[in-house]
């Protein structure tokens, strides 16, 4: 095994030679090297089955790597360690039996913060996603896009250093997705939270990210990396610019090569 | 939406729903009236004596005349049913939670819960009456019959928790207790309420079976005891009157539990939502 590469000074976390084999023998990841820098927006892009969700779950600590390690260079205090991470799932994953407010409150409640002190951060998080008037509403009374906003507000309520998003907008229609892309970028620019965003959409990854990590499947590994060094804020003009189209073409080509390099499904 | 509601199609549909509801109430009543009329006629024309088959009018008169006796018995049976139901609810949910928390306890006890369920209660009741004082034996029967659906449903509910939500809870370092209280029990609630709805009817059945068994052992004053007692005395009208009260009690229990179910779930669960189209 090659010696681990030096960690960049602003690295928030690094995955070193991470492998994951599931109990049924599926090799999801092998030799996965990946570094996340503070305040960046990085996307993991790849075909389905390339282990990008698995990588995200390993970062979150929801899954243990079979080999390799996850390194947080800055010391991590175990008591509030979990609050360093916010996670947004593919589905909104809200508790249907309670209100939007209580859903966003959940992370603070689980950390034992009394509801008196939690009221303010919950309102702030709901504000950030434009849902301040919806605290008393039940999730099923909301549209799919609004539910996803609640899910994002919940992930933001602990003010995490690292926001992990697992194809959060895949199930939404294009208009809603564009709107949420813009809102997510606005939130990211305000908070400067580091984001790791898993997607299988070339266009989405180019629009959002500083950096795209293209993955290949069977076994899941990093195929190549692309820097998207277009300035923020990005908006509708960027979406229709030749620059954006050029980034998308390059990313598509990289993805095509990654898929050719990956084994047959 | 506003434009929709005025359209002939929507209006027609609303009227259709109203007609449907009226039919659902009216048709069973018409059937009831027909059956009662035929019954009454058959008894009168055939001159059937009341100790063979009383006519509906006589049953109603018996119900009114014997009301004080029957009502006392109804209260006894209802109290047993209620206690049995309460114990079944607490025991069923409690045991399911215990099973959910500890595999070992589940493996050790679950087979016996099944055995309790599959052994016919009619066969168990006489034995219970030997070893337990009579009120306790009756209660035990009501409990045995009623607790299993609560246990089985709650067990299923506690296992049917959204996986992502479970991940979310562990991401935020939730304790076992927090997971149980804030995640598992709320998501199991529709299942628990479904189990309770079945248990309500079953605890009445359990109480009745035990009373019948106890009645033949010579004591008791519940409705079922009245039925067997009246049977020995060939007081057939009173048998019917008591039976009528039992059915009404069963219906009331069922609808009461359905109402609780609806009130608890109407804000969020598919089963209780009124769909607007």
B172 and A61 within 8 Å at the Cβ level: the answer is no
B138 pLDDT above the threshold of 70: yes
pLDDT confidence of residue B220: 59
Determine contact: A246 vs chain B, CB below 8 A.
no
Residues B182-216 have pLDDT tens digits of 999 999 999 999 999 999 999 999 989 888 888 75
**pLDDT band at residue B274, thresholds of 50, 70 and 90?**
low
Q: Does A78 touch chain B (CB under 8 A)?
A: no
The count of CB pairs under 8 A between chains A and B is 57
- Please report the pLDDT score of residue A175 as a whole number: 92
Residue A1 maps to a domain:
no
Opening angle at CA A53, ends B176 and A178, nearest 5: 110
CATH number at residue A220: 3.40.50.300
Would you state the pLDDT for residue A77? 54
| Residue A75 confidence (pLDDT) | 65
Residue A131 lies in a domain: no
Contact A123, A132 (CB under 8 A): yes
**Which of B165, B172, B187 comes nearest A82 by C-beta?**
B172
Rounding to the nearest 10 degrees, give the CA dihedral for residues B67, B73, B74, B75: 110
For B97-113, the pLDDT digits (tens) are 999 999 999 999 999 98
In a domain, A213, yes or no: yes
- Does B172 sit within 8 Å of A83, measured CB to CB? yes
Instruction: Measure in Å the smallest separation between the Cα of B230 and chain A Cα atoms.
Output: 50
B172/A96 Cβ within 8 A: no
Question: Is the Cβ pair A93, B187 closer than 8 Å?
Answer: no
Q: Are A166 and A56 in contact (CB under 8 A)?
A: yes
- B chain contacts of residue A85, beta-carbon cutoff 8 Å: 171
pLDDT per residue over B120-130, tens digit each?
Answer: 888 888 899 89
Total structural domains within chain A: 1
- The beta-carbon neighbor of B178 closest among A97, A110, A158 is A110
The answer to which of A76-85, B65-74, B147-156, B219-228 has the lowest mean pLDDT is: A76-85
CA distances from A192 to A50, A212, B40 (A): 28, 18, 84
The reply to whether A113 falls in a domain is no
A150 located within any domain: no
- Angle between helices B67-101 and B185-216 in degrees, nearest 10: 140
Within a domain: A117: no
pLDDT tens, residue by residue, B85-95: 999 999 999 99
Q: Determine the Cα–Cα distance for residues A94 and A106; give it in Å rounded to an integer.
A: 10
Which band of pLDDT confidence, cut at 50, 70 and 90, is reported for residue B18?
A: confident
Measured between beta carbons, which residues in chain B are less than 8 angstroms from residue A95?
Answer: 165, 183, 186-187
Give the burial string for A89-117 (b: 16+ CB within 10 Å, else e). Answer: bbbbbbbbbbbbbbbbbbbbbbbeeeeee
pLDDT-derived band at B14 (thresholds 50, 70, 90) equals confident
Indicate whether A156 belongs to any domain: no
Q: Which of B113, B80, B99, B90 is nearest to B205 (CA)?
A: B80
CA distances from B75 to A45, B71, B72 (A): 69, 6, 5
Q: What is the pLDDT of chain B when averaged over all its residues? A: 89
Does some domain include residue A54? yes
Structure tokens at B180: 């149980």
Q: Provide the pLDDT for residue A99.
A: 96
Q: How many helices (H) and strands (E) does chain A have?
A: 8, 9
Domain boundaries, position A172: 11-93+163-261
- Phi, psi for residue A199 in degrees, rounded to 5: -155, 160
Report the gap between the CA of A210 and the closest CA in chain B (Å): 26
Is the pLDDT assigned to residue B169 strictly greater than 50? yes
Could you say which residues of chain A have pLDDT below 50?
1-5, 78-82
Q: Which residues of A touch B181 (CB under 8 A)?
A: none
- Structure confidence at residue B45 (pLDDT): 93
Residues of B in contact with A140 (CB under 8 A): 268, 273
pLDDT of residue A206: 96
């Amino acid at each position: 095994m090659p010696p681990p590469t030096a960690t960049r000074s602003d690295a928030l976390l690094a995955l070193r030679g991470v492998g994951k084999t599931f109990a049924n023998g599926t090799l999801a990841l092998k030799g996965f090297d990946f570094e996340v820098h503070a305040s960046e927006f990085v996307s993991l892009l790849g075909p389905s089955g390339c282990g990008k969700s698995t990588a995200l779950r390993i970062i979150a600590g929801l899954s243990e790597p079979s080999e390799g390690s996850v390194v947080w260079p800055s010391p991590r205090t175990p008591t509030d360690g979990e609050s360093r991470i916010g996670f947004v799932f593919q589905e909104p994953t809200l508790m249907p039996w309670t209100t939007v407010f209580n859903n966003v409150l959940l992370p603070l409640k689980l950390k034992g913060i009394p509801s008196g002190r939690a009221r303010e951060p919950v309102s702030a998080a709901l504000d950030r996603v434009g849902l301040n008037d919806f605290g008393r509403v039940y999730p099923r009374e909301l549209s799919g896009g609004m539910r996803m906003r609640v899910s994002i507000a919940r992930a933001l309520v602990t003010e995490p250093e690292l926001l992990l998003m697992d194809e959060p907008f895949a199930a939404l229609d294009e208009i809603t997705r564009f709107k949420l892309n813009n809102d997510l970028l606005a939130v990211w620019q305000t908070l400067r939270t580091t984001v790791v965003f898993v997607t299988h959409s070339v266009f989405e990854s180019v629009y959002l990210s500083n950096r795209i990590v293209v993955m290949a499947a069977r076994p899941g590994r990093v195929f190549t990396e692309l820097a998207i060094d277009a300035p923020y804020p990005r908006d509708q003009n960027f979406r229709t610019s030749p620059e954006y189209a050029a980034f998308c073409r390059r990313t598509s080509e990289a993805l095509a090569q990654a898929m050719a390099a990956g084994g047959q499904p | 939406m506003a434009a929709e509601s005025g359209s002939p199609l929507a209006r027609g549909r609303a009227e259709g729903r109203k007609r449907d509801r009226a039919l659902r109430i009216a048709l069973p009543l018409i059937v009831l009236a027909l059956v009662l009329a035929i019954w009454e006629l058959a008894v009168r024309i055939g001159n059937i004596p009341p100790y063979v088959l009383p006519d509906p009018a006589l049953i109603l008169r018996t119900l009114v005349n014997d009301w004080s006796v029957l009502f006392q018995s109804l209260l006894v049976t209802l109290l047993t049913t209620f206690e049995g139901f309460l114990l079944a609810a607490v025991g069923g949910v409690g045991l399911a939670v215990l099973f959910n928390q500890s595999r070992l306890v589940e493996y050790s006890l679950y087979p016996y819960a099944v055995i309790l369920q599959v052994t016919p209660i009619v066969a168990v009741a006489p034995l219970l009456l030997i070893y337990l004082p009579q009120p306790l034996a009756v209660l035990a029967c009501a409990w045995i019959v009623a607790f299993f659906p609560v246990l089985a449903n709650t067990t299923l509910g506690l296992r049917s928790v959204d996986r992502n939500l479970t991940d979310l809870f562990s991401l935020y370092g939730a304790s076992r207790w927090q997971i149980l209280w804030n995640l598992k029990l709320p998501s199991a609630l529709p299942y628990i309420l479904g189990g309770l709805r079945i248990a309500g009817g079953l605890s009445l059945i359990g109480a009745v079976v035990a009373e019948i068994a106890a009645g033949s052992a010579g004591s008791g004053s519940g409705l079922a005891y009245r039925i067997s007692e009246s049977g020995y005395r060939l007081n057939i009208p009173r048998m019917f009157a008591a039976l009528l009260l039992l059915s009404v009690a069963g219906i009331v229990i069922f609808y009461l539990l359905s109402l609780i179910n609806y009130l608890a779930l109407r804000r969020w669960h598919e089963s209780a939502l009124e769909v607007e189209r």
